[in-house]
Structure 1
Amino acid sequence: MASLLRQIVAGPRMRHPEADLDLCYVTDNIIATSGPSSSYPQVAYRNPLKDLVKFLDSKHGSNWAIWEFRAEGTGYPDEEVYGRVKHYPWPDHHPPPFGLVPLIMASMRNWLQDKEAEGRVAVVHCKAGKGRSGTISCSYLISEEAWTAEDAMKRFTERRMRPGFGNGISIPSQLRTIRYVDRWTKNGKHYMERPAEIVELHVWGLRDGVKVAIESYVEEGKVIKKFHQFAKAEREVVRGSIRKEMGFADVAMEVMGKAKEKTKTMPKDAGDVVESQNGDVPKDTGTSGLNSVNSELQPGGGDVIFRPSERIVLPSSDINIDFERRNKSKYGGFTMVTSVAHVWFNTFFEGNGPEQSGKADDSGVFEIEWDAMDGIKGSSRKGTRAFDRMAVVWKTPAEEARRASVMVEEPGEGEPVKEMSSADWRKSDDLSQDFEKKLGLRADMAASAAVSRANSPGPSTGGSNAGDDVPDEIEGVKQHVPPTDENLLSGVTGDQRDTDVGQAEEATPKDDGEVSATAKKLKNPTTRSQAEECQ
Structure 2
Amino acid sequence: MASILRQIVAGPRLRHPEAGLDLCYVTDNIIATSGPSTNYPQRAYRTPLDDLVSFLDAKHGKDWAIWEFRAEGTGYPDEEVYGRIHHYPWPDHHPPPFALIPPMMGSMRNWLQGIEPQDKPQSPEGKRVMVVHCKAGKGRSGTAVCSYLISQEGWKIEDALQRFTERRMRARFGAGVSIPSQLRWVRYVDRWTNQMGKKYVERPVEILELHVWGLRDGVKTAVEGFEDKGKKIKCFHLFHHSERTDVDSGQSTPQESSSSSGEDSNSPKEPLSAITNSQTPSSTLPPRSTTAGAIPTSEASDDTNPKHLSAYIFRPSERVILPTSDVNIVFERRSKASYKGWAMVTSVAHVWFNAYFEGGDKHDSGVFEAEWEALDGIKGTTKKGVRSLERLQVVWRYPSASELDASKSTDVQEAPVQGQAILFPQPGEPIQEDKPDDWHLHETHKENVPHLAPRSQENQPPVAQDASRPDDSPALGQLKRDERVDVDNNKESASENVPQEGIAQSSDQGKESQKVDSSVTQAQAQAEPQPADKPADDKNQQ
TM above 0.5: yes
Q: 5+ unaligned residues in a row in structure 1: which ranges?
A: 241-266, 354-359, 439-445, 455-535
Q: Is the 8 A contact 1:70 1:423 kept in 2?
A: no
Q: Which amino acid aligns with 1:417?
A: I
Match of 1:382 in 2: 384
Q: Are positions 1:201 and 2:210 aligned together?
A: yes
Q: Are positions 1:117 and 2:123 aligned together?
A: yes
Q: Offset at 1:288?
A: 0.2
Q: Which amino acid aligns with 1:231?
A: H
Q: 5+ unaligned residues in a row in structure 2: which ranges?
A: 116-121, 258-263, 270-296, 405-414, 462-542
Q: Are positions 1:372 and 2:381 aligned together?
A: no
Match of 1:46 in 2: 46
Match of 1:85 in 2: 85
Give the whole-Å Cα distance in 2 for the aligned partners of 1:402 and 1:121. Answer: 43
Change (3 A) 1:234 1:184: same
Query: Alignment partner of 1:450: what SS?
Result: coil
Q: Which amino acid aligns with 1:321?
A: I
Q: Are positions 1:288 and 2:288 aligned together?
A: no
Match of 1:169 in 2: 177
Q: Which amino acid aligns with 1:277?
A: S
Q: Which amino acid aligns with 1:312?
A: V
Q: Which amino acid aligns with 1:111?
A: W
Q: Are positions 1:337 and 2:345 aligned together?
A: yes
Q: Are positions 1:277 and 2:265 aligned together?
A: yes
Provide, for residues 174-196 of structure 1, a one-character-per-residue CA deviation record: whole Å limited to 9, x for no partner. Answer: 00000000000013100000000
Report the identity percentage: 61
Give the whole-Å Cα distance in 2 for the aligned partners of 1:170 and 1:389. Answer: 21
Q: Is the 8 A contact 2:398 2:417 kept in 1?
A: no
Change (3 A) 1:411 1:183: same
Q: Which amino acid aligns with 1:38?
A: T
Change (3 A) 1:392 1:447: closer
Match of 1:363 in 2: 365
Q: Which amino acid aligns with 1:371?
A: E
Q: Which amino acid aligns with 1:85?
A: I
Match of 1:246 in 2: none
Q: Is the 8 A contact 1:5 1:45 kept in 2?
A: yes
Provide, for residues 352-407 of structure 1, a one-character-per-residue CA deviation record: whole Å limited to 9, x for no partner. Answer: 52xxxxxx310000000111100011100000011000100000002248667100
Change (3 A) 1:270 1:448: farther
Please point out which of 148, 162, 165 is paired with 1:157: 165
Query: Alignment partner of 1:59: what SS?
Result: helix
Match of 2:232 in 1: 223
Q: Offset at 1:420?
A: 2.3
Give the whole-Å Cα distance in 2 for the aligned partners of 1:279 and 1:83. Answer: 52
Give the whole-Å Cα distance in 1 for the aligned partners of 2:50 and 2:105. Answer: 27
Change (3 A) 1:373 1:329: same
Q: Are positions 1:133 and 2:135 aligned together?
A: no
Give the whole-Å Cα distance in 1 for the aligned partners of 2:454 and 2:319. Answer: 23
Q: What aligned pairs does 1:441-520 form with structure 2 within 5 A after superposition? A: 450-452=457-459
Give the whole-Å Cα distance in 2 for the aligned partners of 1:87 and 1:447. Answer: 32
Give the whole-Å Cα distance in 2 for the aligned partners of 1:190 and 1:402. Answer: 19
Please point out which of 436, 445, 449 is paired with 1:422: 436
Q: Looking at CA atoms only, which structure, 1 or 2, has the larger radius of gyration?
A: 2
**Number of residues of Structure 1 aligned to a counterpart in Structure 2:** 403
Give the whole-Å Cα distance in 2 for the aligned partners of 1:202 and 1:178. Answer: 26
Q: Is the 8 A contact 1:72 1:423 kept in 2?
A: no
Q: Is the 8 A contact 2:239 2:457 kept in 1?
A: no
Q: Comparing both chains, which one has the higher relative contact order based on Cα–Cα distances under 8 Å and sequence gaps of 6 or more? A: 1
Structure 1 range deviating more: 113-122 or 215-224 = 113-122
Q: Which amino acid aligns with 1:201?
A: L
Match of 1:406 in 2: 420
Q: Offset at 1:135?
A: 0.3
Provide, for residues 225-277 of structure 1, a one-character-per-residue CA deviation record: whole Å limited to 9, x for no partner. Answer: 0000000110001117xxxxxxxxxxxxxxxxxxxxxxxxxx7x544476972
Change (3 A) 1:423 1:24: farther
Query: Alignment partner of 1:44: what SS?
Result: helix
Query: Alignment partner of 1:159: what SS?
Result: helix
Give the whole-Å Cα distance in 1 for the aligned partners of 2:171 and 2:307. Answer: 35
Coordinate RMSD, CA, aligned = 2.5
Q: Offset at 1:120?
A: 0.6
Q: Offset at 1:451?
A: 2.9
Give the whole-Å Cα distance in 1 for the aligned partners of 2:360 and 2:416. Answer: 19
Q: Is the 8 A contact 2:255 2:301 kept in 1?
A: no
Q: Is the 8 A contact 1:71 1:423 kept in 2?
A: no
Give the whole-Å Cα distance in 1 for the aligned partners of 2:102 and 2:9. Answer: 32
Q: Is the 8 A contact 2:227 2:233 kept in 1?
A: yes
Query: Alignment partner of 1:178: what SS?
Result: helix
Q: Is the 8 A contact 1:102 1:411 kept in 2?
A: yes
Match of 2:313 in 1: 305
Give the whole-Å Cα distance in 2 for the aligned partners of 1:108 and 1:379. Answer: 29
Q: Which amino acid aligns with 2:170?
A: R
Query: Alignment partner of 2:132: what SS?
Result: strand
Q: Is the 8 A contact 1:142 1:185 kept in 2?
A: yes
Structure 1 range deviating more: 321-330 or 23-32 = 321-330
Q: Is the 8 A contact 2:192 2:199 kept in 1?
A: yes
Q: Offset at 1:11?
A: 1.4
Match of 1:501 in 2: none
Q: Offset at 1:129?
A: 0.2
Provide, for residues 24-66 of structure 1, a one-character-per-residue CA deviation record: whole Å limited to 9, x for no partner. Answer: 0010111000000000000000000000000000000010010
Give the whole-Å Cα distance in 1 for the aligned partners of 2:301 and 2:380. Answer: 23
Provide, for residues 295-351 of structure 1, a one-character-per-residue CA deviation record: whole Å limited to 9, x for no partner. Answer: 997xxx631100000000000000000110111233432111101110000000001
Query: Alignment partner of 2:67: what SS?
Result: strand
Q: Offset at 1:426?
A: 1.2
Q: Is the 8 A contact 1:138 1:152 kept in 2?
A: yes
Query: Alignment partner of 1:206: what SS?
Result: coil
Change (3 A) 1:295 1:59: farther
TM-score, normalised with respect to structure 2: 0.70
Q: Which amino acid aligns with 2:248?
A: R
Q: Is the 8 A contact 1:326 1:453 kept in 2?
A: no
Change (3 A) 1:274 1:32: closer
Give the whole-Å Cα distance in 1 for the aligned partners of 2:51 and 2:91. Answer: 26
Change (3 A) 1:100 1:279: closer
Query: Alignment partner of 1:426: what SS?
Result: coil
